[in-house]
Amino acid sequence: MSVGIRDVARAAGVSTATVSRALGRGPVSDALREQVEAAVRATGYRPNLSARRLRSQATQTIGLIVADIRNPFFTAVSRAVEDAAYQAGMRVILCNTDEDAEREALYLRLMQEERVTGVIFAPTRATAQAMRAGSLDFPVVLIDRSGPPGAHDSVVLDNAAASAALVDHLVAQGYARIGGVFGSTSSTAQERRAGYEAAMGRHGLEPAARACAPNALAAEAEAGRWLAEDGRPEALILSNGLMLMGAVRAARTLALPIPGALALAGFDNEPWTELLDPGLTVIEQPVAEIGAQAMSLLFDRLKSPDQPVRKVVLSGRTVLRGSTRKP
Amino acid sequence: MSVGIRDVARAAGVSTATVSRALGRGPVSDALREQVEAAVRATGYRPNLSARRLRSQATQTIGLIVADIRNPFFTAVSRAVEDAAYQAGMRVILCNTDEDAEREALYLRLMQEERVTGVIFAPTRATAQAMRAGSLDFPVVLIDRSGPPGAHDSVVLDNAAASAALVDHLVAQGYARIGGVFGSTSSTAQERRAGYEAAMGRHGLEPAARACAPNALAAEAEAGRWLAEDGRPEALILSNGLMLMGAVRAARTLALPIPGALALAGFDNEPWTELLDPGLTVIEQPVAEIGAQAMSLLFDRLKSPDQPVRKVVLSGRTVLRGSTRKP
DNA sequence: CTGAAAGCGCTTACAG
DNA sequence: CTGAAAGCGCTTACAG
């Protein structure tokens, strides 16, 4: 019922090999190529990609495993990855782990079964540590998060510097009791926390960091608890855009005006952070660059498997807005 | 180099047929099944999905083609679709058309080449009109948008009723010069517009609708122009969440206080709409339900190909907030 | 329940 | 440049 390459060959009066070559980049005379193209149009032939992948042993597929697709940061990175992939004639399989190690293992297994060419992956800390180089059949580029040095290529933000910039700014504005709520699952949140603590130390201030799941609900709960305590912080730093939203919610619930009673700063320059009044001070990540660099690292790795491992560190941009004004 | 089913068979001392049956749901004795499972563990065997799909002629794959992945509405629907799909043992290929007819055609062709089991699709109006039933090799369920009656199963919002609810509310609040900016590419935006116009008529008011691309930038420009005119509307309805954001931006730029100088209402209850002060009045769509219903329609269609075409119409929920308060 | 064999729809050495 | 033939890695009638 479905039309196959044999039907096209018959219609064009050539062999299936010639049809295959005409559709690919094989050497075919112009005359036969035109006959084949006409036959393809006449029959409505569409190649079967499963067959092509099986036979050619090339899936032209890259896997993209992100930690939370609800996080616009990952949506934006995905778009950049997909643009670069399609430009190179590759498709991408997008998977979402919800920061869950089991689902990470599941999707990594799926990638093997799909025989992907390579994977771009934002792993949890646990998985990043456990994942040894060479244990998978394809190269892996870590994104947003890194693992043990030298294990995998990666592209990450200069997290410590970004956190420090936020602390420096808050201190310059006159804040001293600056708290931080950081995600509990990623190396990146750890680095942001370390950067925060180091910067606080440099200013002779006492760091006060807490951790929770890197989503809006958990951050709202955590920030809500903290802000209801005596000696609550007068400024709060959150380690991603979802958590920042949770903190805004918590402040609203407690009727704490921003920045009157609480200064707020965090990561990811999502459109809504500018829409609030006052806007939120954030670190903007070069999302398109992150995705493009990841694909580029992956292609380089495919070309030169034995090349030394590379880590690309990109700088964030500090976007100052009203939420951190002097009280 | 890569371990195949033959290696497992050899290691387990059985035929490849038995390995295949043990991994699938074929009839195998418990003893052999255990031998096979041990051999799979020992060899680290992972089935090749391309081969499996080719041979079994069942890809267990559904295609999900959305119009704009930056729109959180589609992200949310995607999650629901994926949950339902994975529960049924199917994977999903997610594609993003950016409301572009050429990319729609491209992805539809890709779906044919992938030999997908079925497709869930949010088409532009142009494509919805052109897409005749039965012209594709797989069933299609339309989502968020519908086409000519009777062509494809679909699940949509009761768009006209939702728009009317917004108009009724604004009129009740005392607004009369109520304008609307609606997306130019989808049947859904058309229906929202029609619902708006009908409701205005019912109230004896003059409708004033404009159209633009259904994204933030275009809506910001369109609303900005309109709001700078003499006789500008005192209330504005936008046909999706992205456009609503654009309108907020435009009002900010023109220093028009909401709702003091401009009342604002629209579609999609995105988290940020509640965070603004005042919050935005919106129609909340049952996103999870939309995704789940689409999968359900698709499965039913696969089971009963000749069943009459069904259209599931879901109701929105009106969320009243400060942006439409009496001026 | 089990195995030998055919074949899914392609691509690609191998000859010519 | 072109074709006949082999084979990618599986699954599934067909026998037994």
Task: Please give, chain by chain, protein residues whose CB is below 7 Å from any atom of strand D.
Answer: A 14-18, 21, 26-29, 31-33, 51, 54-55, 57; B 2, 4-6, 16-17, 19-21, 23-24, 26, 45-48, 51-52, 54-56, 58
Please report, for the domain that includes residue B47, its CATH number.
Answer: 1.10.260.40
- A228 pLDDT tier (thresholds 50, 70, 90): very high
Q: Which residues of B touch A250 (CB under 8 A)?
A: none
One domain, residues B281 and B298? no
Indicate the residue among B56, B73, B93 that finishes a domain. Answer: B56
As a whole number of angstroms, the distance between CA A156 and CA A146 comes to 7
Domain tally for chain B? 3
List of chain A residues whose C-beta atoms are within 8 Å of the C-beta of residue B112? 46
Which tens digits make up the pLDDT trace of A273-317?
999 999 999 999 999 999 999 999 999 999 999 999 999 999 999
Of B259, B228, B243, nearest in space to B180 by CA: B243
Residues A29 and A139 in one domain: no
Nearest CA-CA partner of B2 in A49, A112, A134: A112
Calculate mean pLDDT across residues B205-210. Answer: 97
Range of the domain at A34: 5-56
- Predicted confidence at residue A167, as pLDDT, reads 98
Average pLDDT of chain A, as a whole number: 95
Distance, angstroms, CA B51 to C1' C10?
A: 11
Res. A50: pLDDT tops 60:
yes
Do B91 and B198 lie in one domain? The reply is no
Per-residue pLDDT at B261: 96
Cα torsion angle, B193, B195, B196, B198, sign: positive
B217 and B171 belong to one structural domain: yes
Residue B211 has pLDDT above 80, yes or no: yes
- Using the predicted structure, report yes or no on whether residue A235 has a pLDDT greater than 80: yes
Does the pLDDT at position A25 exceed 90? Answer: no
Residue B237 has phi, psi (to 5 degrees) of -115, 130
pLDDT tens per residue across span B36-82: 999 999 999 999 999 999 999 999 999 999 999 889 999 999 999 99
pLDDT at residue number B1? 55
A88 and A12 assigned to the same domain: no
The whole-number average pLDDT for the span A41-57 is 96
Q: What is the pLDDT of residues A116-138, one digit of tens each?
A: 999 999 999 999 999 987 889 99
Average pLDDT over residues A56-76: 95
Q: For residue A55, which nucleotide's C1' is closest to its Cα?
A: D8
Q: Do both B240 and B293 map to the same domain?
A: no
- Determine which helix (DSSP H) or strand (DSSP E) holds A12, and give its type and residue range: helix A5-12
Return the sign of the alpha-carbon dihedral for residues A237, A240, A241, A244: negative
Report the share of chain A in percent with pLDDT over 90. 95
Q: Which residues of A touch B75 (CB under 8 A)?
A: 69-70, 75
Q: Which domain-ending residue is among A39, A56, A73?
A: A56
Contact check, Cβ <8 Å, B271/A94: no
Q: Are residues B172 and B233 in the same domain?
A: yes
pLDDT attached to residue B134: 80
| Average pLDDT of every residue of chain B | 95
Q: How far apart are alpha carbons B245 and B323 in whole angstroms? A: 13
Q: What is the pLDDT of residues A139-183, one digit of tens each?
A: 999 999 999 999 999 999 999 999 999 999 999 999 999 999 999
> DSSP string spanning A57-75?
T---EEEEEES-TTSHHHH
> A20-23 long-range CB contacts below 8 Å, 24 or more apart?
A23/A47
pLDDT-derived band at B263 (thresholds 50, 70, 90) equals very high
Is residue A224 located within the same domain as residue A268?
Answer: yes
pLDDT at B294 over 70: yes
CATH number assigned to the domain comprising residue A174:
3.40.50.2300
**pLDDT at res. A134:** 80
**Do A28 and A177 have their domain in common?**
no
Rounded to an integer, the average pLDDT of A100-121 is 96
Q: Which residues of B touch A (CB under 8 A)?
A: 2, 46-51, 53-54, 59, 69-70, 75, 78-79, 82, 91, 93-94, 96, 109-110, 112-115, 137, 216, 245, 248-249, 252, 271-272, 275-277
| pLDDT of B7 | 95
Q: What's the pLDDT at B133?
A: 77
Half-sphere exposure of A261 (CA within 13 A, CB side): 13
Q: Which residue has the tokens 């959180």?
A: B72
Same domain, B175 and B271: yes
Give B120-166 pLDDT, tens digit per residue: 999 999 999 999 878 899 999 999 999 999 999 999 999 999 999 99
Question: A257 and A164 in one domain?
Answer: yes
Query: Do B207 and B122 share a structural domain?
Result: no
d(CA B105, CA A244): 39
Residue A97 has pLDDT above 70, yes or no: yes
